Each structure stands twice: as structure tokens, then as C-alpha cells.
Amino acid sequence: MTVTRNPTKPPSSSSDLLEVDTRTGERPGDRYVRVLQPFAESFRRRAPGHLLVTEQVLRPHGALGTAANLLRRVFVGRRLASEGEINERIGPIKGLAVFASDNISSSAYASEEIMRVVVAAGAGALALTMPLTVAIVVVLGIVVTSYQQTIRAYPSGGGSYIVASDNLGKIPGLVAAAALLTDYVLTVAVSIAAGVAALTSIYPALFGWRVAVGVTFVFLLWLGNLRGIRESANIFAIPTYVYLVAIYGLIGFGLWRVATGTLPTYVPPAGWVAGHAVEALGLLLIFRAFAAGSVALTGTEAVSNGVPAFRPPESRHAGQVLILMGIFFGSIFLGISFLAAQLGVVPDPTEQETVISQIARTLVGAGTPFHLLIQLSTAFLLVLAANTAFADFPRLASILGKDRFLPRQFQFRGDRLAFSVGIMVLAILSAVLIVAFGGSVTNLIPLYTVGVFVAFTLSQSGMVVHWWRSRVTTRGWRWRAGLNGAGALATGIVAVIVGVAKFALGAWMVLLLIPLLIGVMWAIALHYRDVEGALALNWTGQALPVRAPRVIVPLSRLDRAAFEALAYARSISSDVTAVHVTDDRADLDEMRRRWEAWSGPVQLVILESPYRALMAPLMAYIEATETMDPSRPTTVVLPEFVPRHLWEYPLHNQTALRLKIRLFFRPNTVVIDVPYHLRNGRAGHR
């Protein structure tokens, strides 16, 4: 075994493209210009051995490439350099659309979900809607105030995962992460299902197609989000503000009618039968109704997780968005619940008409332009609310990827700086959910919210620890810790209520999934750590062990491809043995005869295999030669014929493929394909 300890550097060759090839002997100037020319557009030289790649390198090749590139530019947009990330950040106006649309859009169904639960105890129980709404808005107030502090304490992004890992430890962090990942997937599924429900309220013909429509929306969101955060904000800002104007218009008009005592008469939906109570009005029912309504709080986490997406000062912009969000959502939620109670609205048991649609048609008339506006803007907002999850899930996954709890690929940013892999995974999982649950909001809701409140509680508890730790440097740490403590308590109680109330309805799936996810993430992290430990090497002063490989070239025939393989083998090592396996005596003699006639610099070994096996004798032979001289690595050089067309592949290389698979798992063995290209009549290998 020859170990070369830093021998002379290789001839300073053409490695960084702009240096002169010293072996040519031409005038440096000429050479410099001639060589530089074709690549000056592709690379710029920053320092010796450091080339900057220009966008030119990414230009498409061929007609197909150009067409694909054009499509991508239309749908995804122009490529953005990594340095342009700061320009892609957003202010509070767009921030509200991106990060608060989830929360605000919940106002479209929060009242209804409460009513659907309490109505089981009879139409009279609907009177509970308003008090429950107030209770939820109070919790929201606590959460928003509490998160204000988180945002200020973690200006580089204070999602539950970070806050909990930072202050409570890795496992609570992972619990929060798993809970959130699950919930983001559910957010997309629920929002889109609700959006489709708003549409079917005005176009009942669409009801049979709700799964297909939902999946189409997921696909559109996928595409929209590949455009990056700023452009998706542009797309999604308008529906948010249209919704706000429309819904405040409706509530205002309704309140005026209440104040003037001119409320019209309400007609229940066609399917409604004022039946008897099917359930007693117990504590569990009230809990369940509270749990159903508290879906409304799910969007809050998004803002604190997404702080880095805001323009500086990031914390201030994020804080503004959080407060605005609380005000908008709270007032709409209260307004809708109030109007529903005043009108005596009952939820449509067939899920075909939403409560808001019923309020709108009663107040302004069914099918009037304003009714349509309310429904369409609600539908759009709900669909786009899923976008909040699209902004957050990939961001969280990328952080988990960086911390090695998820595969590295989640860190990759695409052409537009969006986290493409996370976006794809979220789209696929939520589409699967929509299909699995038949696109029904009511079926999906029980799975939802448990995760979010678990994450809330962990995050707020973490903040309490945070303030305690920095008690020396922080003024007023007591009231800050108290505030976050109140948040933790409130959300903790909700988490338990939601978990208990929804357990049998489906929350058990989530409570099963979260530990499973944690297990997977933990296993991934262990594996990466393990591998990194095993692979770590201090290179400083490490000598490169140079050992000429022992090369084996399996040959089936003596053709050009075999010749090229032998030539390559000889150029990387002087110890080359060609091996021919055969079961045919005539073939054996012919091979030997031709080989001797050739008298080349390579030895031939013929393995006569009477049982027609090819792989096993070859493997045994490699084993044997290695045992005789274990100091050097084995290299197998395979001639591989590359035909002109793809369909011709099955006609060739079957044996090479099988051999490669077998050898790949063999330690200390390197396999080299020497491709022989057959193109345009000439051999590709020069």
C-alpha cells in the first residue's frame, strides 16, 4: 500500500478555466482570450479557484428545454438570486393577507361550528352560541397579548418549536413541531373544504364535485406558493380585504336593522326539521361546542413563526399584524354570532348552506349581488386561508431540516426562494386528507385544533421559562412571565377541553400521529448524527492514501465497447484482468484464440460455468482475488453500451445492471461504467 503524503501539486491545469494551460506553449495572451471567450458568459472569476456562476448557465437547452422554461416563467416566475431574499420580504398590509388570512377566515365558520354542536340539544340550546363566542374571544385576547411578547423576544422567528426547544428542551420542541406540522396539513384541508362549502351554498350543482374542486384548489395553491412569499401575498391580499369590506358591510347592515327593529323574518333551510333534542345539554356538549369554536384561534401561531418574512423592523411589523388580526377576527366572530342569534338561524343539517349565507340571504335577499359578493369573497378567502399554512409549514420544515429532524431536502429553496419540497409535501398530504374525508368540513374539524393548542401551551410555557432565565437583565420580567403564564394556562385548558371533547370523534388519530411523528423525527436526527459522527474527519495534515486499484473487467464479447473498457481500465491501473464467464466450450475456445491473437497488455481469465450461472462465479472470483491481496481496493470496470433510443435499453446491458446492483453493496469495491455511446453512426468514446 503506497501512501503519498502531499506529493507535488498536480500541474496547474485548466481547473479554474481562466488560467493558461502551461503545456500548450502558446502565447499566454492568445490562450487566455481563446479559452475565456466561450465561458466568460457562464462564469466570472472572483479569486483563483473561485468562480461565480451566472444566470447564463441556467439557460435552457433545446426546443423542449425552452418550452419547459417558458412554462415555468409564466407559472412560477423569473429566477431570484439568493441575495435578493430581503427584497422578497413584506410589510404589515401584505403580512395581514399572508399570515392572518387563516385566522380571519375562521370567522366564516366558527359561529356555525358552535351552533352545529349545541343544536343537538334542541333549537333552544342555540342561545348558548353567543356566550361561547365571547369566551373564545377572551381566550383569543389573552393569546394575542401573550404572543406579542414572543415576537419581541424572538425577532428571528419565534414559532412554538423554537421557543419550546429553546426553553423547555428538545422533546417539548418536537412535540410542538409535530403538533404544528399535523395542524398545518389540517388547516389546508379544512380551509379548502370550507371554501368549497361556501361555493356550494350558492352553486348547489357543485356539491357532488366538492372533492375534485378542493383538490384543484390545493394544486393552484401549490403553484401560487412556488412563486415565493411576496408574489403570493400580492395574489392573496385582494380577497382578504374584499372579505373584510363585505363582511363588515353585512354586520353593519344587520346591526342597523336590529337597532331599528326592522329585522326580516328568517326561513330555515329546506332540510331543516325542528326535531327533539337528541342529546342532553351537559358539560361535555358545552365543551365540545367550545372546542368546535376554538378552531378560530388556529392562525395565531403563523405570525410569530413567520417573523423573518417581514421587512425590518420585523418584530414591529409582525406585532402590528397580530393585533390587527385579533381585532378583525374578534369583531367579525362576535357580530356573526350575534346576528345569528337575533335572526334565530339554524345550521343546515345537509351542510349545503352555511350560516353566513343564511344571514346574508335573510338580510339582503337570496341571490342578490351582495349575497353573491359575501359568498364569493368568503369562498376565496377560505381557500386562500390555506395559504397561511403554505407560508408556515415549509418554513417550519426547513428549520427542522436544518436541525436534522427532517430530511435535508426541506432546506432547499427553489427558483423563487420558496421552500419547494415543503410546499410539495404539504400539498400532497392535504389533498390526500380532502379525498379521504370526502371534502367534508364537519368530518375534518374534530382532528383539527388539538395540535395547535398543544403547541400554544408549550410555546407560552416556554416564554415563562424564558423570562425567568433573563430575570436579571429584563425589567418587569414578573408581569411578562405572568402574562405568558396566563396565555399558557388559557391555551392549556383549551387543549385539554378540545382533546377530551373531540377524542372519540377523531382527535385520537392526531394524538396517535403526534408521538409517531416525533419518533420518526427523532430517528432521523439520530441517524444523521450517527452518520455525521462516523463521517467526521479532521483533514488538517491528513495524508491521502493512494493505492493503485486491482481492476477486473468482465467481458462477454470482444467488441468496441469491451475495448474501450479495457483501455480505460489500463489508464487507471496497470493491474487489469479481463474475466470471461461462459458455459459454451466453443465460445471459450474462440475467446481464448482471439485473445492470444490480440496479445494486448491485459491478462484474460476464463471462468467455465457449467451451471450457466454468471453472477455467482464472478463474485466468487472477486472474493478470491481480494483474499489473495487484501491491501488494495477492487475496481470492476463494466463496458456499458448506450443505445440511441430509450426503447432499445431492454435489449442490452441486463447483465451489467444485475452486476452493478450486486456489487454496489459490496464494501471496498468500486464499480465503473464505461459507457459506449452509439450516436449518429460514430462512436461517442474518442
Please report, as residue ranges, which positions from 79 to 108 form the binding site for a second copy (by CB under 8 A): 79-83
Q: Is 73 in the site for a second copy (CB under 8 A)?
A: no
Task: Give the count of beta carbons closer than 10 Å to the beta carbon of residue 356.
Answer: 26
Name the amino acid, one letter, at 618. L
| Contacting range for a second copy; rule: CB under 8 A; set: 164-172, 349-357, 390-398, 622-630 | 622-630
581's grid cell = 464467464
Among 258, 602, 656, 657, binds a second copy (CB under 8 A): 602
Among 51, 324, 489, 493, binds a second copy (CB under 8 A): 51
Q: For a second copy, what does the binding mask look like between residues 654 and 683, x meaning CB under 8 A?
A: x---------xx-xxxxxxxxxxxxx-x-x
State the nearest-atom distance from the C-beta of 213 to a second copy, in Å. Answer: 32
Residue keyed to cell 342578490: 368
Judge whether 663 and 638 are in contact, CB under 8 Å.
Answer: no
State the nearest-atom distance from the C-beta of 558 to a second copy, in Å. Answer: 6
Among 311, 609, 656, 662, binds a second copy (CB under 8 A): 609
Where residue 10 falls (left for φ over 0; alpha for ψ -120 to 50; beta otherwise) is: beta
Task: Give the count of beta carbons closer than 10 Å to the beta carbon of residue 68.
Answer: 12
116's grid cell = 352545529
User: In angstroms, rounded to a whole number, what is the distance separating the alpha carbons of residues 237 and 97?
Assistant: 5
Judge whether 143 and 487 are in contact, CB under 8 Å.
Answer: yes
286's grid cell = 358545552
Number of residues counted as binding a second copy (CB under 8 A): 139
Q: For a second copy, what does the binding mask look like between residues 390 and 409, x meaning CB under 8 A?
A: -----------------xxx
Among 170, 402, 529, 560, binds a second copy (CB under 8 A): 560
- CB nearer a second copy, residue 257 or residue 677: 677
Of 670, 652, 683, the C-alpha closest to 557 is 652
Please report, as residue ranges, which positions from 294 to 313 form the binding site for a second copy (by CB under 8 A): none
Among 412, 479, 482, 515, binds a second copy (CB under 8 A): 412
User: In angstroms, rounded to a whole number, what is the distance separating the alpha carbons of residues 543 and 537?
Assistant: 12
Orientation of helix 160-168 relative to helix 369-402, angle to 10°? 40
Q: For a second copy, what does the binding mask look like between residues 493 and 532, x meaning CB under 8 A?
A: -------------------------------x--xx--xx
309's grid cell = 418574512
State the nearest-atom distance from the C-beta of 397 to a second copy, in Å. Answer: 14
State the nearest-atom distance from the C-beta of 72 to a second copy, in Å. Answer: 13
Q: For a second copy, what does the binding mask look like between residues 564 and 593, x meaning CB under 8 A?
A: --xxx-xxxxxxxx---x-xx---x---x-
State the nearest-atom distance from the C-beta of 584 to a second copy, in Å. Answer: 8
- CB nearer a second copy, residue 245 or residue 616: 616
- To which H or E segment does residue 160 belong? helix 160-168
Of 88, 393, 93, 351, the C-alpha closest to 222 is 393
Judge whether 469 and 197 are in contact, CB under 8 Å.
Answer: no
State the nearest-atom distance from the C-beta of 427 to a second copy, in Å. Answer: 18
State the nearest-atom distance from the C-beta of 80 to a second copy, in Å. Answer: 8
Q: Is 21 in the site for a second copy (CB under 8 A)?
A: yes
Q: Is 486 in the site for a second copy (CB under 8 A)?
A: no
- CB nearer a second copy, residue 40 or residue 505: 40
Among 206, 235, 548, 656, binds a second copy (CB under 8 A): 548
Q: Is 372 in the site for a second copy (CB under 8 A)?
A: no
Judge whether 603 and 569 are in contact, CB under 8 Å.
Answer: no
Among 558, 587, 656, 662, binds a second copy (CB under 8 A): 558
Q: Is 14 in the site for a second copy (CB under 8 A)?
A: yes
Residue 510 burial by Cβ neighbours in a 10 Å radius (0-12, 13-18, 19+): buried
Is the omega angle on the peptide bond into residue 313 within 30 degrees of 0, that is, cis? Answer: yes
Judge whether 51 and 44 are in contact, CB under 8 Å.
Answer: yes
User: In angstroms, rounded to a whole number, what is the distance separating the alpha carbons of residues 127 and 159?
Assistant: 37
- CB nearer a second copy, residue 60 or residue 124: 60
User: In angstroms, rounded to a whole number, what is the distance separating the alpha carbons of residues 60 and 64?
Assistant: 8
User: In angstroms, rounded to a whole number, what is the distance separating the alpha carbons of residues 121 and 287?
Assistant: 13
Of 488, 400, 465, 492, the C-alpha closest to 167 is 465
Task: Give the count of beta carbons closer than 10 Å to the beta carbon of residue 163.
Answer: 29
Among 267, 542, 590, 661, binds a second copy (CB under 8 A): 542
State the nearest-atom distance from the C-beta of 535 to a second copy, in Å. Answer: 4
State the nearest-atom distance from the C-beta of 119 to a second copy, in Å. Answer: 47
The 10 Å CB-count burial string (b at 16+, else e) for 215-254 is bebbeebbebbbbbbbbbbebbbebbebbbebbeebbeeb
- CB nearer a second copy, residue 247 or residue 555: 555
User: In angstroms, rounded to a whole number, what is the distance separating the alpha carbons of residues 237 and 193?
Assistant: 20
Please report, as residue ranges, which positions from 413 to 442 form the binding site for a second copy (by CB under 8 A): 413-415
- CB nearer a second copy, residue 58 or residue 267: 58
User: In angstroms, rounded to a whole number, what is the distance separating the alpha carbons of residues 679 and 686?
Assistant: 12
For 272-295, give the DSSP string. ------SS---HHHHHHHHHHHGG
- CB nearer a second copy, residue 46 or residue 276: 46
Q: What's the number of CA atoms in the CB half-sphere (13 Å) around residue 380?
A: 17
- CB nearer a second copy, residue 426 or residue 501: 426
- CB nearer a second copy, residue 27 or residue 276: 27
Among 258, 621, 656, 662, binds a second copy (CB under 8 A): 621
- CB nearer a second copy, residue 479 or residue 598: 598
Residue keyed to cell 493503485: 548
Q: For a second copy, what does the binding mask look like between residues 25 and 44, x meaning CB under 8 A?
A: ----------x--xx--xx-
- CB nearer a second copy, residue 504 or residue 597: 597
Please report, as residue ranges, which positions from 630 to 649 form the binding site for a second copy (by CB under 8 A): 630, 633, 641-643, 648
- CB nearer a second copy, residue 170 or residue 527: 527
Judge whether 42 and 59 are in contact, CB under 8 Å.
Answer: no
Q: Is 57 in the site for a second copy (CB under 8 A)?
A: yes
Among 266, 341, 563, 656, binds a second copy (CB under 8 A): 563
Among 87, 547, 590, 657, binds a second copy (CB under 8 A): 547
Q: Is 260 in the site for a second copy (CB under 8 A)?
A: no
